[in-house]
Chains A and B, each alone.
Chain A
């Protein structure tokens, strides 16, 4: 879709499933990501939404932002509820109850609901192979309760539970690599996306929904409130996160890695870190340490993608040889 960029905005669906008027903060990247993700899906869906920003801002009684069937679940059981809905539809069909065909179950949660509290339910659902899509909207901390650290908070970031000071540099551990954990379940489709690349995001969500079996999409969502950044830099920060290699965009389809955006040269991570208040305290040697780590991780990923394409080529070659004989 990226290629057609100029006229595609006028050719995509106009109907919103995530209506305006919700109570997200100014410049919320997550609301933007949710809106785009649901534009890529059709009407035939049921959403299970974990506690988190998107549940809080979109469903204050007696109002709702959702134009699709939507269930609020707890932090820990989003994936369990989603698999229950899917199993329920199957059972009803088997018993001969009239239910609509091809209903896709969408589970969505924040980074806390995915990588901390909801991880075991997610792992179980991925392992059992339910036909559902799991969307993780990652804003790198528990934002709706007032910025507490999660396992998705990057190294060095300030949150209220990982403050920076004389004896602390903020978050002390590296960001948990959630897409890799999902990919380790050998599911058909895993992808990372960012709202700053809207067509890429929409393509990936649509692809995830079209594939039978579990799919996982990890979406980086910039949060100006928690990241202590100006509200007008949301899209720019998302692009910088990708361009610096901190949040690489890739997909894993049946174990084959593929980079979504080719970056010949990574931008220095300093460009990204220095625009956010949560990294304001970082000294140059800590930034150098982060830079080193980002490069290593990015290189690992590129190698995986290259090895995958080589293997695929070899496979197609042997396949062609078989046909000729």
Chain B
């Protein structure tokens, strides 16, 4: 167990916990967008910045979602300096994704109402946190989408920027894990459409042999059958009709 102080409160947590999780367990609020328990920490959105003083007296600014707790660490989550940086980050995010409800909510909490930067268009709501790509690779295990290029050209896209990714199984986990709902998923009679910020892909859905309901994309069923080593005929009926 490790002892540390967050905002003047002494808390004890297990070794190997991040500052963010330690704070959250003790009901100390730190805003974040890109944190996702299911995948490895990444530190993309920078909103969870905190000020720390190590046991040896060194002061630093760190992202709490990747910094592990240490003995004798002093953490401050609500200083004036952090507030200033966070407001700047939110202004930048507002300029980048003006349509995102989530970012507007966070900005309102930090009393940021307008942005001094030129609003960008064509970004959809993507903040480049790579939650989608990380979920695809680490949880689903297919790596159908990724972040491409560098610097200002960086974007979330499919291989070669085509409206098609050969390995994508259409499970929609990227849409689920997206913090700003930049990725959306629509199911209409027998087809599923996943809308990524710059591409779009269609999937054929599998119909249940008993009730006729479309219950999963065909490619996903094939992938599950292949990885679990079960025959494809096991998946003819939907989970409701399966015995």
Contacts and interface: CB of A to CB of B under 8 A. Distances in A.
Interface of A: 1, 3-8, 10-11, 13-14, 43-44, 100-101, 239, 243
Contacts of B77: none
Contacts of A43: 24-25, 27
A100 B27 contact: yes
11 contacts: A1-B176, A3-B185, A4-B172, A4-B173, A6-B216, A6-B220, A7-B173, A8-B173, A11-B36, A100-B27, A100-B29
The 4 lowest CB-CB distance pairs between A and B, nearest first, are A7-B173, A4-B176, A11-B38, A4-B172
B25 A7 contact: no
B157 interface: no
B198 to A, nearest CB: 22
Q: Which of A3, A13, A43: most chain B Cβ within 10 A?
A: A3
A3 B173 CA distance: 10
Contacts of A14: 37
Nearest to B136: A7
Contacts of B187: 3
B25 A4 contact: no
A30 to B, nearest CB: 23
A3 B36 CA distance: 20
Contacts of B37: 13-14
B151 to A, nearest CB: 30
Contacts of B29: 44, 100-101
A5 B224 CA distance: 13
B135 interface: yes
B24 A7 contact: no
Contact of A11 (B24, B135, B216, B239): B135
Contacts of B110: none
A150 to B, nearest CB: 30
A239 B135 CA distance: 30
B171 interface: yes
Contacts of B176: 1, 4, 7-8, 11
Given A3-B185, A3-B187, A43-B24, A10 B172 contact: no
Contacts of B38: 10-11
A288 to B, nearest CB: 25
Interface string B71-109: 000000000000000000000000000000000000000
B177 interface: yes
Interface string B222-243: 0010000000000000011000
Interface string B180-219: 0000010100000000000000000000000000001000
A239 B238 CA distance: 14
Nearest to B216: A6
Contacts of A3: 172, 185, 187
B225 to A, nearest CB: 12
A43 B26 CA distance: 8
A6 B27 contact: no
B48 interface: no
B240 A239 contact: yes
Contacts of A4: 171-173, 175-176, 185
A100 B24 CA distance: 13
Nearest to A44: B27
B212 to A, nearest CB: 9
A100 B175 CA distance: 32
A8 B38 CA distance: 10
Contacts of A44: 27, 29
B200 to A, nearest CB: 17
A100 B37 CA distance: 24
Contacts of B171: 4, 6-7
B140 interface: yes
Nearest to B175: A4
A7 B27 contact: no
